[in-house]
Structure 1
Amino acid sequence: MTGAWLPPEQYVKTIANATSYAALYFTDTAGRPLQLRAVGDACTWQWPGGNMDHGETPWECALRECLEETGISFAGPQRLLAVHFIRQGAAWPLNKFGVVFDGGRLTDDQIAGITLDPAEHTELRVHTLEEWERTMRPDGFARLRATDTARRMGTVAYLEW
């Protein structure tokens, strides 16, 4: 860096770029995490969420994606549970930031009323953490465990890999 001032449209070309996502973390009334199986990858389990659109805030993204993927029009408080950073690599060409909000606890009737977008998810499951650990890849489970712990402790998790 020469110390010379650059207009913003030039300066942003000199720094790391990133994509971003936002999601809502739901459990059932017993505190068991709810996740959705991704289309095209039977081993990937996700929360309602997705990549942010231009001009969208993380909260707006989480609400939009949740409605699109589950039919749930979430109106709860904005409670941050986790911030997730993924380094660019062979699987993704840019750094990626994720923001996970607390979606609260869903009743059995609310869970039964979820309508999945078949273009994005093939099924919904609710399991204990022990059951999820046997089902998920280690990195996905680490994110789940850290987010669940943050909710129970009233803190915010920060994850990076």
Structure 2
Amino acid sequence: MSEMLPKAQWLASLPQVVAVGSMLVTDDAGLVLLVRANYGTCSWQFPGGWLDLGEYPTVCAERELTEETGLSCQAAGLLAVAWSIPKESTGGRAVVQFLFDGGRVPSGSSVRLQDGELSEARWVRPAEAFTLLDTNRGAWLTAALGTQQGEPVQVLAH
């Protein structure tokens, strides 16, 4: 903390960050679950969303997965982190996104989409996921799959 500023001013001068908790869920056949959002510029993504006030990222990822798909999975481990610099679209805030391992569900698990927010869900092979995801989410998937194979968790900047 700067000795020059009162604590309240110093805290107000720090960068503001918002956080997202997301989940990578696969089925017994190795297919990845992607959902298609009705909003924003990135239509295909992993189930997830913004953290509520006082919420842990794991709890958020689990809650959002259930709200968006009807699936209930525990956030088993951190697979990758993405950091986005402050942008006008995020109110001048940086965004930190946590991608957790949701484990495997039985092949053919049904998905119940959240009304008004999502239009579609697909179970796809990772190769197809890369064709649906934007470049940043594709890099996130690459990092997550590497972590599942024993590589260290990566922090990606975009």
For normalisation by structure 1, the TM-score amounts to 0.85
Deviating beyond 6 angstroms after TM superposition, the runs of 4 or more aligned structure 1 residues are none
1:40 aligns with 2:39: yes
Unaligned runs of 5+ in 2: none
Deviations 1:6-31 (A, max 9, x none): 33x43320111011110111012122
1:122 aligns with 2:119: yes
The Cα shift of 1:154 comes to 5.2
Where does 1:106-117 land on structure 2 (aligned, <5 Å)?
106-109=105-108, 111-112=109-110, 114-117=111-114
**Aligned pair in 2 of structure 1 residues 31, 6: CA closer, same or farther (>3 Å)?**
farther
Is the CA contact (8 Å cut-off) linking 2:62 and 2:75 kept in structure 1?
no
Cross-structure match for 1:61: 60
Q: Distance in 1 between matches of 2:42 and 2:57?
A: 26
Cross-structure match for 1:140: 137
The Cα shift of 1:134 comes to 2.3
SS of the equivalent of 2:121 reads: strand
Is the CA contact (8 Å cut-off) linking 1:80 and 1:156 kept in structure 2?
yes
**Aligned pair in 2 of structure 1 residues 36, 29: CA closer, same or farther (>3 Å)?**
same
Deviations 1:76-135 (A, max 9, x none): 3631111110111243321000111100011124x22x2110211111112222212222
Q: Distance in 2 between matches of 1:56 and 1:43?
A: 24
Cross-structure match for 2:80: 82
SS of the equivalent of 1:131 reads: helix
Instruction: Select between 89-98 and 99-108 the one with higher mean Cα deviation.
Output: 89-98
1:98 aligns with 2:87: no
Deviations 1:30-78 (A, max 9, x none): 222211011135852121210001111111111211111111222x363
Q: Distance in 1 between matches of 2:107 and 2:55?
A: 31
Q: Distance in 2 between matches of 1:6 and 1:149?
A: 45
Alignment: residue pair count: 157
The Cα shift of 1:155 comes to 3.2
SS of the equivalent of 1:99 reads: strand
**Letter of the 1:124 counterpart:** A
Unaligned runs of 5+ in 1: none
Instruction: Select between 40-49 and 117-126 the one with higher mean Cα deviation.
Output: 40-49
